[in-house]
Structure 1
């Protein structure tokens, strides 16, 4: 899977105009992501939840966390498997998913989002599905990495 921009448009500060005109290659061909009902931001409430970096070791993860926290002027939190810089960046204490890390995307309805992506030829790693106590899905990873990053959907903000 890969992405290519099919049409370049002038960059305007604060926008991603060139990406809005792009196409994304799914398993079964090209899927246009024009700003229509096919736009996952509109259809699913898709937005970046966080970026995950594989720190390799707890010591290296702590160092990365301190550096990013200082750089961005944001607070940090330590959890059992990782550190967070605010809610934007997660630094894994070990290898974590993905060769380089992971990217989490928030969606309003994870079941609807999974169907939306499957209808476009993308597959999910069902073994990665994490559930809330009520049985509803909290998080699920796509089957394939992109650029060394695992990608997941979550209903978390």
Structure 2
């Protein structure tokens, strides 16, 4: 998969944007980036699209900007010249695909049936846009389509909302979703970029799904750990079970306290945060300026990241993410 598409996958969502006023292009990109979505697909449905891409790529170089609704090789050339990092089209036009590939620009054409996908494969593509996603049958249709084509990945677009985005992202063949609910046209027209930042942040919070997993408390020895765990068990009616290096006090409701038998990470202990997509969460938090301790990363048998700690403590507690 192309490097830019890998970066898109780490974000998880690509806002599909229609720009009618180029003066709003940079503030819009900044609003999205501030909300944790440093990406945008500027559709070539307006005359301002080309200039909007030029301005964003010049003034917001950390934002991944692509051109959408590209229907011809001429539009593709204009988009590439403007600085678009990727090209998206509603359908599969072999000429447009071949042209972009020759230019070294990742292209994501729209596909909605097996014939489209096989043509995309014949052209050398490994990522396509499933469009129009909801109208074409949604996640159920996408899973059926992907069955015979194990190496193909998808970016569903069309009818994606905050309510169904995780239905798509939880499917392993989906690298990201295209959506416009966080960039409604009326807010762009009004210049209400603060609201767009809020919607972008809410979108990422919905996707990442941060929740408290458990709190770890450091003790000096087994006996002390046992007393602390027993106290929480008595206080909150939690079950006790031995985890080897620690004692857990918890119940089915998800209230879990881990008491370490010997001091572990963090001056006082550690806090574990669950997330729907740990690699996207790492990317999102890194974008806020935090760093992760790569030596603490643990992977499953498929080499998928399962847990990792931040480098810095918060309030004397080490913080780690859990898939």
Q: If the TM-score is normalised by the length of the shorter chain, which range does it land in? A: 0.7 to 0.9
Corresponding pairs, count: 123
Q: 1:120-140: CA deviations, max 9, x gaps? A: 111000000011121111100
Tell me the residue number matched to 1:58. Answer: 222
- 2:322 corresponds, among 131, 134, 154, to 154
CA RMSD of aligned residues (A): 1.6
Q: 1:72-120: CA deviations, max 9, x gaps? A: 0110110111011115110001001100000000000100000001111
Tell me if the contact between 1:37 and 1:43 (Cα under 8 Å) persists in the aligned partners. Answer: no
Judging by fraction of residues, say which structure has more strand: 1
Q: CA deviation at 1:35?
A: 5.1
CA distance in 1, matches of 2:248, 2:273: 16
Tell me the residue number matched to 1:37. Answer: 200
- Is 1:84 the counterpart of 2:248 in the alignment? yes
CA distance in 1, matches of 2:230, 2:269: 18
Work out which structure has the larger RCO, using CA pairs closer than 8 Å and 6 or more positions apart in sequence. Answer: 1
Q: TM-score, normalised by structure 1?
A: 0.74
Unaligned runs of 5+ in 1: 1-31
CA distance in 2, matches of 1:154, 1:43: 15
1:119-134 → structure 2 map (5 Å cutoff):
119-134=287-302
Q: TM-score, normalised by structure 2?
A: 0.37
Unaligned runs of 5+ in 2: 1-193
Tell me if the contact between 1:46 and 1:105 (Cα under 8 Å) persists in the aligned partners. Answer: yes
CA distance in 2, matches of 1:119, 1:47: 19
CA distance in 2, matches of 1:119, 1:74: 37
Report the structure number with the largest CA radius of gyration.
2
CA distance in 1, matches of 2:201, 2:265: 28
CA distance in 1, matches of 2:311, 2:249: 27
